[in-house]
Structure 1
Amino acid sequence: MALIDELPLQKRQPNLIFACSRLLGAPEGPYPGFRDWLLHNWPAVAAETEHRSTQTNEARRCATLLPALAMIPGPLALLEVGASAGLTLYPDRYSYRYDGGEPLHPSTGPSTVLLECTTNGRVPVPAELPTIVWRAGIDLEPLDVNDPRDAVWLETLVWPEQHERRERLRAAIAIARGHPPRLVRGDAIEALAALASEAPTDATLVVVASAVLVYLPAAERMRFVETVRALGVDWVSLEGVGGLPTVHAAIPDNGTPPGRFVLALNERPLAWTGPHGQTLDWF
């Protein structure tokens, strides 16, 4: 802990430390072996964190985003902030199965990525996937699906024992490689309006924020909210409890399940979700 406390505040993230360690060859196994390795290699790990960030790109979150997106009149133009490699910009290219039922496929047929999700409540699962005619994203350090080094980093962010997540990630990367997303390097607030202006005017622009606002200071989160409001567009958020005060204040008073995210459409809370898209509990 003393070594980690030497890092800049924004780099003191366990997931980031573990991922950088794995990238540099840390052994997978009991803690004593990992501790010895980390102490011996700490300078290299600390240096690696300087140009890395936690950019987990979980395509399965699309299973929780989908019902909200389907509530918006299409065709849709998606703009994601904190897009990482852009894998959640392809909800129309994945297949879905809710509660073990009949799968929902893209119009072109079954996808190589099948996203399964368990639900509770009256989840408005659509009969067909939305039509998406434009997709783009913003990230401080966007990852390129066609760069093998970036693909390795994305895999490193997946916990070692989660083999299914790793296979799903690889399949989603393969889909994105066929149609690489437009990703802009920049600040989510500063770059938003300019990129939004590129969206086709005959489509409904939807801003998506998924597990990204938690990394912003509270004042910056409110700046982001004000920026989106000023654009006058629809926006879907999937953030941790407290990530958006306006959403948090509107959550029905039925307790806060630990470790859950909140799905919201235009700051109106819709459901609790699993952080990786595995569950969806409609309010």
Structure 2
Amino acid sequence: MRQGATPETQAALAERYLRFAQIEAEGHSPLYTDWARHVAGSARALAFLGELPPDRRQPNLFFAALRLVGGLPRTEAAFDDVLTYKADAIAAVMRTRRTQTNEPGRCACLLPLLARLDGPLALIEVGASAGLCLLPDLYGYDWGRAWLDPPVGAGAPVFPCRVNDLAPLPVHHPEIVWRAGLDLAPPDLEDAGDVAWLEALVWPDQTDRLARLRQAVAVARQEPPPVVAGDLTRDLEALLAQAPADARLVVMHSAVLTYVSDPDARADFARLMRSRDLHWISNEAPGVFPDHAKGLTPRAGKFLMALDGHPIAWTGPHGQSLDWL
């Protein structure tokens, strides 16, 4: 057994994949639910994952890489065949790619909060991937009891989102006069391989979500948001300095700080946010910034959206629901 694939490592990975099946995939992707349960009980799959660096073992990364290389095996035997015969190619993808879905559907949760802020707004997103979430003012939204048409007309996606009665739903898009993103390795939307990777990160069984991603990519190709390569723990201050002084600066992130494993680095990021004259929108799992969730009962599979450290709403990880507090 190679270093990194110890019995303790495999046991922890099995628990992680079972948790993914039960909390994240169940009810959203039958195929990913089956895959995750199979991986949790497969010595072969756990050994494969154990040979990868610890930050490259997450289910979304593994399953997207396997799909990119081997398609959509529908049985456990077919899954094992792909992993057996294409393990090196799958591992190569997992070592070089990142989980950069940057699901644009999250804008259905972010926009009601952005619309409540005094504008005009200067928007910075950390962990921006290709910058699709930097364009919330160019999409349409269907919140059930309210609808907001996309300003760019036909072709832009309309994101559905279930909302509770407390959610304040805007009647117009916020005014965003400047925007920029920061990402470790920004995908190029003109590169077929980068776009194929973004599509592979969309869960199977979610064809509507894939169609909306493709529409968002088409919008972003017409209105390319600037995304610079950099590390949020080192390079954010330089980007903050570029924001126009006559706009209200907003820094936001969704499912990004969870990948900053060093708690001290997370704390440094939070201190930076609180030390500047800006609004900070965090949309992360509640354990990422525990102080945001004090006094709240966590909801399984939900993110906690906070403004300037104060909890605002529980949100679906892909923007599918918004429960305002």
TM-score class normalised by the smaller sequence: over 0.9
> Is the Cα contact below 8 Å between 1:16 and 1:54 reproduced in 2?
yes
CA distance in 2, matches of 1:56, 1:108: 23
| Structure 2 residue 238 is matched with structure 1 residue 194 | yes
CA distance in 2, matches of 1:142, 1:224: 20
- What residue in structure 2 maps to residue 147 of structure 1? 191
- What residue in structure 2 maps to residue 276 of structure 1? 318
| Structure 2 residue 309 is matched with structure 1 residue 267 | yes
Which amino acid letter does the alignment assign opposite residue 54 of structure 1? T
| Structure 2 residue 286 is matched with structure 1 residue 241 | yes
- What residue in structure 1 maps to residue 60 of structure 2? 15
Distance change (3 Å), C-alpha of 1:137 and 1:224: same
> Is the Cα contact below 8 Å between 2:118 and 2:248 reproduced in 1?
yes
Q: CA deviation at 1:112?
A: 2.2
Offset from partner CA, 1:117-161 (integer Å, 9 cap, x none): 111131111121101111110111111122221111100111121
SS state at 2:138 partner: coil
Offset from partner CA, 1:81-116 (integer Å, 9 cap, x none): 0001110001100011112x3421244546621011
> Is the Cα contact below 8 Å between 2:115 and 2:173 reproduced in 1?
yes
> Is the Cα contact below 8 Å between 1:26 and 1:38 reproduced in 2?
no
> Is the Cα contact below 8 Å between 2:49 and 2:57 reproduced in 1?
yes
Q: CA deviation at 1:28?
A: 2.8
- What residue in structure 1 maps to residue 81 of structure 2? 36
CA distance in 2, matches of 1:106, 1:30: 41
2:253 paired residue among 197, 204, 209: 209
Offset from partner CA, 1:181-217 (integer Å, 9 cap, x none): 1111110121111111111111111001111011012
Normalised to the residue count of structure 1, the TM-score between the two structures is: 0.94
Q: Please identify runs of 4+ aligned residues in structure 1 that moved more than 3 A.
A: 106-111
> Is the Cα contact below 8 Å between 1:95 and 1:111 reproduced in 2?
no
Normalised to the residue count of structure 2, the TM-score between the two structures is: 0.83
CA distance in 2, matches of 1:37, 1:60: 31
SS state at 1:24 partner: helix
- What residue in structure 1 maps to residue 33 of structure 2? none
Which amino acid letter does the alignment assign opposite residue 129 of structure 1? H
CA distance in 1, matches of 2:154, 2:111: 17
Which amino acid letter does the alignment assign opposite residue 313 of structure 2? A
Equivalent runs, 1:126-165 vs 2, <5 Å: 126-165=170-209
In terms of fraction of residues, the more helix-rich structure is 2
SS state at 1:154 partner: helix
| Structure 2 residue 149 is matched with structure 1 residue 105 | yes
Offset from partner CA, 1:32-79 (integer Å, 9 cap, x none): 101121022112211221111111121110010111111210011110
Where does the alignment leave 5 or more consecutive residues of structure 1 unmatched? none
- What residue in structure 1 maps to residue 166 of structure 2? 122
> Is the Cα contact below 8 Å between 1:93 and 1:111 reproduced in 2?
no
CA distance in 2, matches of 1:135, 1:84: 14
**More contact order relative to length (CA 8 Å, sep ≥ 6):** 1
Which amino acid letter does the alignment assign opposite residue 230 of structure 2? G
Which amino acid letter does the alignment assign opposite residue 57 of structure 1? N
| Structure 2 residue 67 is matched with structure 1 residue 25 | no
> Is the Cα contact below 8 Å between 2:139 and 2:151 reproduced in 1?
no
CA distance in 2, matches of 1:77, 1:243: 25
> Is the Cα contact below 8 Å between 1:94 and 1:111 reproduced in 2?
no
Where does the alignment leave 5 or more consecutive residues of structure 2 unmatched? 1-45
Which amino acid letter does the alignment assign opposite residue 145 of structure 1? L
- What residue in structure 2 maps to residue 82 of structure 1? 127
Which amino acid letter does the alignment assign opposite residue 236 of structure 1? I
| Structure 2 residue 97 is matched with structure 1 residue 52 | yes
> Is the Cα contact below 8 Å between 1:105 and 1:129 reproduced in 2?
no
CA distance in 1, matches of 2:290, 2:118: 27
Which amino acid letter does the alignment assign opposite residue 201 of structure 1? A
- What residue in structure 2 maps to residue 61 of structure 1? 106
- Measured on the aligned residues, the alpha-carbon RMSD in Å equals 1.4
> Is the Cα contact below 8 Å between 2:250 and 2:280 reproduced in 1?
yes
Which amino acid letter does the alignment assign opposite residue 148 of structure 1? A
Which amino acid letter does the alignment assign opposite residue 88 of structure 1? C
